[in-house]
Structure 1
Amino acid sequence: MKPYLQVENLTKYWGELALFEHINFTISEGQKVALIAKNGTGKSTLMDLIYNINSPSEGSISIASDIRVSYLRQTPDLDPDDTVMQAAFKSSDELVETIQQYEEAVDSQNHDLLAEAMEKMNRLNAWDFEVRIKQILSRLKINNLEQRISELSGGQQKRVALANVLITEPDFLILDEPTNHLDLDMIEWLEKYLGKAKSTLFMVTHDRYFLDRVCDEILELDDQTIYRYRGNYSYYLTKREERIQQQTAEVEKAKNLYRTELEWLRRMPQARGHKAKYRVENAYKLQEKASQGRSDETVELNVQGARLGKKILEVDHLSKSFGDIRILEDFSYKFSRYEKVGVVGENGTGKSTFLNLVTGAIPVDSGTIDVGETIKFGYYRQDGMQFKPEDRVLDIVKEIAEVIDLGNGQVMTAAQFLNMFLFPPEVQYSYVEKLSGGERRRLYLCTVLIQNPNFLILDEPTNDLDIMTLNVLEDYLKSFSGCVIIVSHDRFFMDKIVDHLFVFRGKGQIKDFPGNYSDYRDWKEEQDKLERKQEKQEKAEKAEPAKQDKPKPRKLTYKEKIEFEQLETDIAELEKEKASIEEAMNAGNLSPEELVEQSNRHGELQDLLDEKEMRWLELSELA
C-alpha cells in the first residue's frame, strides 16, 4: 500500500512540557485510523502539525505530494461574512478551484479559459458538485444556504466545516472530533458515509461505537509513546489490557532482579573496582526499568452527595413555546429515587430547554415544577464554563470549597481533589488559558461535582472528554446515589448509564421509552418497517378498486404505431450524435468557436431527446 503519511522521530514541547517525544508511525492508502489519548497529551496539536498549521520541535512529517488532503479542526475557522454555500465552497482543493474557474470563464466569455475549464470539469467529474454539497448539508440539517456564518451557532458552524471537507472527497481525510455537535441521526449517517468512503482516514473521536464501526486501526498516544493496534476499538481494549499486564510483569521482574543486584553491589564495597563492569552497568539499567511504574492515574469520583428525601421532582402539565415553535406540550412526570434518564432527539427539539425549565433557569408558559426540599441540583451545561483565562486551576476549586466531603468521615483538600482529577501539582498552578479543551471540560465537571449535588443534570458531558475520563465518569454515575438526567449524543455512554429515555419528537411531543439507546434504535427500526409495510398495504388497497373500475385500455392506432417505430429510430440517431459531440469535446482538439458551437448543439440534442423520450413513454403504455 502507498504511504500517505509518514511521521518520524516527532517531538513537540509546550513550553518545558514534552507532549510527545520521538514518535513514529505511518498511515497508508485505504486505512481508517483513530488516535486515542488522554486530554492534554497533544492529540489536536499532532493533527495541526500534520496539516502544517504548527511546527514540530524535532522530527519530520511527510505527506504524499500527489494526494488531496482535507482537515476538520476541532474549532473551525470560518469567515463570519460568508454564506453557508460560500463557506461550503471555500477550499484550496483542485475541484473547488476548477468550478470557480469554469464560472469565471462563462461570465467572461473567454473561449480559451472555457475550453480549459471544461476539460478539467470532465476530468474531475465536477458537474454534479453543487448537488453533492446540498445533499451533504441537508443530511447535516443545514438547510438555509444563504444564511451568514455569523448567524449560526457553534455547532452549526462545525457542521458546515464538516460538509466542506467531505464534499471534495479527498484522498486523505483528517478529522478532529467530527461527532461533536451532531445529533444521533447525523452520527449514524456519518458512520455509514465514512465506512463506505474511499478516502484514507485519520481521526480523533471519543465516540466508541463510531470507533468500532468505522476504524480498522487504533493508535494510542500513552506516556509520550505511540502504540499501534491493528483492529477496531473492541480489539484495542483487549490488546491494550494485555500490553499493560505485560509491562507491569516486566517492571515487577526488573524490581526483583534489581533487589538481587543491589545486594550484590553492596557486598564487599572495597572490591567494587574489581567487579565486572558490565554487571554494574546492568544493575543501573535494571534500576531505571524498575522505576517505570505506569502513570495510569484514575479519577475516583467518590464525592458524597446530599441526602435525598422522599419527594424528588414532579413535573405537571408543563408547556413551553418560543413563538410558533412548541418545545413542550402538556408534559407530566414524577421522578423517583436513583432514577437515571437519558434525553435524545434531533437538534432543535428542545432538549436543553427542558433542562433549563427543570432547574428554573427559564420560566414555563404553563404547568408546574415541584422540587423536593432536599434536592440539590448539579447542572453541567454545554456553555457553562465561565473561567477567566488568567484564573489558576487551584484557585477556581478553592473558591467553591477548600475541603471536600467524601462521606464516611473522609475529607480531601482542593489540591488533593484536583490531583484525583488528573491535575498534578504543576498543572494546578497553571492558568486556564494553558489548558486543553478537554482539560477545561474536566475542570468544569470537577466544579459541578464538588458541590455535593444529589440530582445531576448533564448536558452533553462527553464533548471533549477523553475515553479514559469517560470510562471513570460512567463508573461514577452508575453508582451515584442520586438522580441523573443526561443529554448526550454518545450512544455508548447512554447505553451504560440510563434506565429509560425521554425521546423528543418535536412539536412538543415527548415519548417515555423503557430502555437504553440501543434498545430504542432496535424498536424504532421495527416500527419504521411496520409503518412502511402498512403504508404499502394502504396504497395497494386504495389502488385495487380503481383497478377494478378502470376501463379496458385502448390500443395503438395504425398512425401511432408508425410514430412509435420512428421514435425509436430517431432516439438512437440523436444518442449517437450526442455521444460523438461529447467525444469531440473531451478530446481537446476543437477550436474555441467550434467548442461553443458543439456545446450549444449538445444542449439542443438533450432537449430533443427529452421530448422524444417522453412521447415514446406515452406510446409505450398503449403498445
Structure 2
Amino acid sequence: MKPFLQGENLSKRWGELLLFENISFTVFEGQKVALIAKNGTGKSTLLDLLAGKESPDEGTITLTNDVRIGYFEQIPALNPNHTVIEEIFETDNEKINAIKAFELALAKNNQEEIAAISSKLDELGAWSIEVEIKQILTQLKVNFLEQKVSQLSGGQKKRLALAKVLINQPDLLILDEPTNHLDLEMIEWLEAYLEKTKSTLLMVTHDRYFLDRVCNEIIEMEDNQIYRYQGNYSYFLEKREERVQMQQATVAKAKNLLRTEIEWMRRMPQARSHKAKYRINAFYDLQDKASHNFRDNKVEMNVQSARLGKKIVELEHVSKSFPGVKLIEDFTYKFQRFEKVGIIGNNGTGKSTFLNLLTQTLTPDTGTIDIGPTIKFGYYRQDGIDFDPKEKVIEAVQKIAEFIHFEDGTKMSATQMLTRFLFPPETQYNYIEKLSGGEQRRLYLCTVLMQNPNFLILDEPTNDLDIITLNVLEDYLKAFAGCVVVVSHDRFFMDKIVDHLFVFEGEGTVSDFPGNYTIYRNKVEEDQEREQAKAKAQNQAQEKVQAKVKTEEKGQGKRKLTFNEKREFEQLEKDIPALEQQKEELEEAMNSGSLPHDELYEKSLELDKIKTLLDEKEMRWLELSELV
C-alpha cells in the first residue's frame, strides 16, 4: 500500500502541558482510520499538525506528493463575508469551478453561458460531480445559499464546512468529530457516504456505530504509545482487552520479580561491584515496568440521587407554537419512576422547546405541566458551558457546593467528586482555560450532578466526550435512581440507555415509541418496505384485473362475481372498517401517555398485525371490486 501521510517521533506541548511525545504512525492509501484517545491527550492538536495548521515541537510529518487534504475542524475556519454559495465554491478544483460558473449562469438564466459551460462540463466529465454536490447539499440541509456566513448559527456553519470538504473530493479526508451538530438522518447518510467514498479517511469520532461501520483500522493513542488495530470498533474492543490483560500480566510478573530484587538490593550492598552493575540497571528498569498502571482511569459517577416521590411530572393537553411554527400539539404524558426516555426528531421539530417546557423555562400556550414536590431537575444543556476561563477547576465546583449531602446522611466533598471525574488533586487547581473541549464538558457534567438531581435532562451530552467517559456515563445512567430524558444523535448511547422514545414528527405531532433507536429505525424501514410492497401489489392487482376484464370482454363479456366471491366481498366491506377502527383505537391508546411500557410494547405488536391484515384485505377488496 502507498503511504499517504506519515508522522515520525512527533511531540507537542501546550505551555507546561505535555500532550504527546515521540509518537509515530502512517496512514496508507485507501485506509479508513479512526484515532481514539482520552480527552486532553491532544487528538485535535494532532490532526492540526497532520493537516499543516500547526507545527510539531519535534518530529517530522511527510505528505506524499500531490495528495490533496480536506480538513474538517471542530471550529470551522470560514470567511464571514462570503455568501454560503461563495464559500462552498472557494476552491482550486477545475471541475468544481466549472460547476460554480454553471450554477451562476443558471441563476442569471444566461442561455449563451449555460451552453458554453455545458460543453466545458462535458469535456471535463464533471456532470456526475454536479449531481453529487447537489446530493451533499441536500442531505446536509445546506439550503441557505444566498445567506452570509456571518449570519449562520453554529450548527449551520458546521454543516457548511463539512459540505465544503466533501464537495472538494480530496484524496485524504481528515475529520474531527464530523457527527456533532448533525441530526440522526444526516449521520446515517454521512455514514453511508464515507463507506462508499474512495478517499482515504482519518477521523476522530465518539460515534461507535460510525466507527464500527466505516473504519477498517483504529489507532489508539495511550501513554505516549501508538497501538494499531486492523479492524473496526468491535474488533478494537476485543483486541484492546487482550492487550490490557497481557500488559497487566506482565506488570504482575514484574512486581513479583521486583520483590526478589528489592531484597537483593537491600541485603547485599557489598555485592555492588562493577560486575553487579548490570543487575542494578536491570533493577531500575524492572521498577519502572512494575510501577506502570494499565488500568483505565474510569470516571466513577456512582452519585446517589435525591429521593423521588410518587408524583413525577404530568403533562396534560400541552401545546406550544411560535409564529408560523407548530411544535407541540395536545401532548399528554405522565412520567413514571425511574423511566428513561430518548427524544428524536429533525432539527426544528420542538425537541429543545419540550425540554424547556419540562423545566418551566417556557410556559405552554395551552395545557398544564404539574411537577411533583420532590422533583429536583439536573439540566445538562448543549450550550450550557459557561465557565470563567481564569477560574480554577476546584472553584467551579465549590461555587455550587463544598459538599453533596445524600439521603442516607453521607456526604462527598468537591475534591472527592472531581477526583471521581478524572480530575486528580494536582489538576484541580489548574485554570479552566487549560482544559480541552471534552474535559470542559466532563467538568460541566460534574457540576450538574453535583446538584444531586433526581430528574436528569440531557441535551446532547455526548458531544466531545471520549469513548471511555461515554461508557462510564452510560453505566451511571443505567443505574441512576431517578428519571432521565435525553436528546442525543449518538445512536449507540441511545440504544444502551433509553426504554422508549418520544418521536417529534413535525407539525406538532409527538408519538411515544416503545423501544430504543435501532428498534425504531428497523420499524420505520419495515413500514416503508410494507408500503412499497403494498403499492406494488395494488398496481399488479389492478393490471391483472384489467387484463382479465379485457380478455373477457373480447370473449363472452365481463365475468361476474361467483356466489362465494360475492359473500367474501360483502364480508370484506364489514371487516375493513372494523380493522380501521381497531387500528385507530390502538394508535390513540399508544399516544395517550398513560400505558405502562410492557403494555405499550404489546399494543405495538398488535398494531403491526392489524396493519398487515388490513393491507391484505384492502388488496383483495380492490381485486374483487373490479368485478362488481
User: Under a length normalisation based on structure 2, what TM-score does the superposition of the two structures give?
Assistant: 0.82
* Preserved CA contact (<8 Å) 1:5 1:64: yes
Amino acid aligned to 2:226: I
Q: State the shift of 1:3 in Å.
A: 0.5
CA deviations over 1:182-216 (Å, ceiling 9, x no partner): 11111111111100110100000000000000000
Residue 429 (1) aligns with residue 429 (2): yes
Residue 397 (1) aligns with residue 390 (2): no
Q: State the shift of 1:539 in Å.
A: 4.6
Partner Cα separation in structure 1 for residue 225 and residue 484 of structure 2:
37
Amino acid aligned to 2:496: K
Q: State the shift of 1:535 in Å.
A: 2.8
Q: 1:154 to 1:549 in 2, by over 3 A?
A: farther
Residue 262 of structure 1 aligns with which residue? 262
* Preserved CA contact (<8 Å) 1:90 1:96: no
SS at match of 2:157: helix
* Preserved CA contact (<8 Å) 1:376 1:453: yes
Partner Cα separation in structure 2 for residue 459 and residue 101 of structure 1:
42
Residue 327 of structure 2 aligns with which residue? 327
Partner Cα separation in structure 1 for residue 456 and residue 352 of structure 2:
14
Partner Cα separation in structure 1 for residue 502 and residue 416 of structure 2:
37
Partner Cα separation in structure 2 for residue 24 and residue 431 of structure 1:
30
SS at match of 2:427: helix
Amino acid aligned to 1:207: D
Residue 141 (1) aligns with residue 141 (2): yes
Amino acid aligned to 2:36: I
Residue 373 (1) aligns with residue 364 (2): no
Residue 245 of structure 1 aligns with which residue? 245
- Out of 455-464 and 79-88, give the one that drifted further: 79-88
- Out of 320-329 and 289-298, give the one that drifted further: 289-298
Residue 339 of structure 2 aligns with which residue? 339
CA deviations over 1:291-346 (Å, ceiling 9, x no partner): 11236221111212111111001001011111121100101000000000011111
Partner Cα separation in structure 2 for residue 287 and residue 202 of structure 1:
37
Q: 1:49 to 1:122 in 2, by over 3 A?
A: farther
What are the within-5 Å matches in structure 2 for residues 608-619 of structure 1? Answer: none
SS at match of 2:272: helix
Partner Cα separation in structure 2 for residue 381 and residue 454 of structure 1:
16
Amino acid aligned to 2:240: R
Residue 226 of structure 1 aligns with which residue? 226
Residue 526 of structure 2 aligns with which residue? 526
* Preserved CA contact (<8 Å) 1:303 1:407: no
User: Any gaps of 5 or more consecutive residues in structure 1?
Assistant: 107-115, 552-623
Q: State the shift of 1:274 in Å.
A: 5.7
Residue 33 (1) aligns with residue 33 (2): yes
Residue 164 of structure 1 aligns with which residue? 164
What are the within-5 Å matches in structure 2 for residues 161-310 of structure 1? Answer: 161-273=161-273, 276-294=276-294, 296-310=296-310
Residue 18 of structure 1 aligns with which residue? 18
Q: State the shift of 1:509 in Å.
A: 0.7
CA deviations over 1:26-67 (Å, ceiling 9, x no partner): 111110000011111100000000011111010011111212
* Preserved CA contact (<8 Å) 1:304 1:405: no
Partner Cα separation in structure 1 for residue 343 and residue 100 of structure 2:
44
Partner Cα separation in structure 2 for residue 66 and residue 187 of structure 1:
30
Q: State the shift of 1:263 in Å.
A: 0.9
CA deviations over 1:554-607 (Å, ceiling 9, x no partner): xxxxxxxxxxxxxxxxxxxxxxxxxxxxxxxxxxxxxxxxxxxxxxxxxxxxxx
* Preserved CA contact (<8 Å) 1:223 1:295: no
User: Under a length normalisation based on structure 1, what TM-score does the superposition of the two structures give?
Assistant: 0.83
* Preserved CA contact (<8 Å) 1:37 1:220: yes
Amino acid aligned to 2:235: Y
SS at match of 1:364: coil
Residue 606 of structure 1 aligns with which residue? none
Measured on the aligned residues, the alpha-carbon RMSD in Å equals 2.6
Amino acid aligned to 1:372: G
Partner Cα separation in structure 1 for residue 142 and residue 274 of structure 2:
79
Q: State the shift of 1:406 in Å.
A: 5.6
Amino acid aligned to 2:285: K
CA deviations over 1:354-391 (Å, ceiling 9, x no partner): 11111111121111000000000000111111112222
What are the within-5 Å matches in structure 2 for residues 442-453 of structure 1? Answer: 442-453=442-453
- Out of 75-84 and 228-237, give the one that drifted further: 75-84
CA deviations over 1:263-286 (Å, ceiling 9, x no partner): 112223234236522112111111
Residue 563 of structure 2 aligns with which residue? none
SS at match of 1:428: coil
Partner Cα separation in structure 2 for residue 183 and residue 83 of structure 1:
24
Residue 466 of structure 1 aligns with which residue? 466
Amino acid aligned to 1:485: V
SS at match of 2:132: helix
* Preserved CA contact (<8 Å) 2:306 2:406: no
SS at match of 1:321: strand
Residue 508 (1) aligns with residue 508 (2): yes
* Preserved CA contact (<8 Å) 2:499 2:514: yes
Partner Cα separation in structure 1 for residue 186 and residue 105 of structure 2:
37
Partner Cα separation in structure 2 for residue 304 and residue 29 of structure 1:
50
SS at match of 1:515: coil
Partner Cα separation in structure 2 for residue 354 and residue 139 of structure 1:
26
Partner Cα separation in structure 1 for residue 366 and residue 334 of structure 2:
17
Sequence identity (%): 63
Residue 57 of structure 1 aligns with which residue? 57
Partner Cα separation in structure 1 for residue 150 and residue 533 of structure 2:
44
Residue 357 (1) aligns with residue 392 (2): no
Residue 476 of structure 1 aligns with which residue? 476
User: What is the aligned residue count?
Assistant: 545
* Preserved CA contact (<8 Å) 1:68 1:93: no
* Preserved CA contact (<8 Å) 1:35 1:204: yes
- Out of 410-419 and 367-376, give the one that drifted further: 410-419
Residue 440 of structure 1 aligns with which residue? 440
Amino acid aligned to 1:512: D
* Preserved CA contact (<8 Å) 1:327 1:507: yes
SS at match of 1:344: strand
Residue 574 of structure 2 aligns with which residue? none
* Preserved CA contact (<8 Å) 2:307 2:407: no
Residue 78 of structure 1 aligns with which residue? 78
Partner Cα separation in structure 2 for residue 145 and residue 105 of structure 1:
15
Residue 68 (1) aligns with residue 89 (2): no
Q: State the shift of 1:85 in Å.
A: 1.6
Amino acid aligned to 1:293: N
Residue 603 of structure 1 aligns with which residue? none
Q: State the shift of 1:426 in Å.
A: 3.5
* Preserved CA contact (<8 Å) 2:438 2:465: yes
Partner Cα separation in structure 2 for residue 360 and residue 144 of structure 1:
33
Q: 1:369 to 1:142 in 2, by over 3 A?
A: same
* Preserved CA contact (<8 Å) 1:456 1:485: yes
* Preserved CA contact (<8 Å) 1:317 1:368: yes
* Preserved CA contact (<8 Å) 2:6 2:25: yes
* Preserved CA contact (<8 Å) 2:394 2:415: yes
SS at match of 1:301: coil
SS at match of 2:526: helix
Amino acid aligned to 1:23: I
Partner Cα separation in structure 1 for residue 247 and residue 314 of structure 2:
52
* Preserved CA contact (<8 Å) 2:78 2:87: yes
Partner Cα separation in structure 2 for residue 249 and residue 392 of structure 1:
39
Partner Cα separation in structure 2 for residue 225 and residue 407 of structure 1:
44
Partner Cα separation in structure 2 for residue 446 and residue 85 of structure 1:
41
Amino acid aligned to 2:460: E
Q: 1:396 to 1:92 in 2, by over 3 A?
A: farther
